[in-house]
């Protein structure tokens, strides 16, 4: 299992939200590039970058920061938030972004996901954010009637390279991940599943490691608040400690 640090961008700054609420924002750094470099120095093998302004508005507003992060580090990065059309996907790949994450558009226009997967095989992930088992969209502000697991199966058929599954109720709360929900998702799908939301300490990493098919886990606030040490988390996930 791989540990993936998160950088959430809002107004050009590195922030974290509580349960995805735009008004519950904490700024951790005015320099996302330096933060990205810091995580790489501590051993990160993949970086998760989200344009929160894009997630809320549908229009990416941190493109220059994403470009700067890509130029500054030499590990793969995956980018999500506000990716609503093929033009934006192509622009991100032209920057050297390794994988894109489609969330709201996947729920509203699954055919576009299939087209993107056909054009960029192995480079498109579906971001599934769930509240009480239902898919949420538009920066988590709207909850649909789509069942998260059923929708994940649809995305698998569309050709996505993996699923990033976030439990909204746990995100940014440091209360521990929803192990049962993550396990159900991982055991249902054949493609890689990445867990997100709620990780606060090493024991959370150890509990997630018990899910055999889980490919990775994204962590943000725990790293920024200091309740989780990235180097220790990476070593734990690799079975080194």
Catalytic residues: 8, 129
In the block, tokens 């088992």 appear at 133
- How many Å separate Cα 145 from the centre of its chain? 22
**For residue 202, what are its two tokens?**
């090493």
DSSP secondary structure string for all residues of 160-202? -SEEEEEETTTTTT-S---HHHHHHHHHH-SS-EEEES---SH
First to last CA, the chain: 14
CA dist., res. 228 & res. 184, Å (int)? 25
CA distances from 9 to 48, 50, 62, 74, 176 (A): 11, 6, 7, 19, 23
């Amino acid at each position: 299992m791989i540990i993936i640090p998160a950088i959430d961008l809002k107004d050009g700054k590195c922030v974290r939200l509580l349960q995805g609420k735009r008004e519950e924002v904490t700024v951790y750094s005015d320099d996302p590039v330096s933060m990205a470099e810091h995580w790489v120095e501590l051993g990160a093998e993949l970086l998760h970058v989200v344009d929160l302004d894009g997630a809320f508005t549908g229009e990416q507003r941190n493109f220059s920061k994403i470009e700067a992060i890509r130029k500054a580090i030499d590990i793969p990065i995956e980018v999500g938030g506000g990716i609503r059309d093929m033009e934006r996907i192509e622009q991100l790949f032209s920057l050297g972004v390794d994988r894109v994450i489609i969330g709201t558009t996947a729920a509203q226009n699954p055919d576009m996901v299939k087209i993107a997967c056909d054009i960029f095989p192995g480079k498109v992930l579906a971001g599934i954010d769930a509240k009480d088992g239902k898919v949420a969209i538009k920066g988590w502000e709207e909850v649909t009637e789509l069942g998260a697991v059923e929708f994940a199966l649809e995305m698998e058929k569309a050709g996505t390279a993996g699923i990033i599954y976030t439990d909204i109720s746990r995100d940014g709360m440091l209360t521990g991940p929803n192990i049962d929900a993550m396990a159900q998702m991982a055991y249902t799908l054949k493609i890689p599943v990445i867990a997100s939301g709620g990780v606060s300490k090493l024991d959370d990493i150890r509990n997630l490691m018990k899910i055999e098919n889980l490919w990775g886990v994204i962590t943000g606030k725990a790293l920024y608040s200091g309740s989780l040490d990235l180097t220790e988390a990476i070593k734990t996930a690799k079975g080194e400690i």
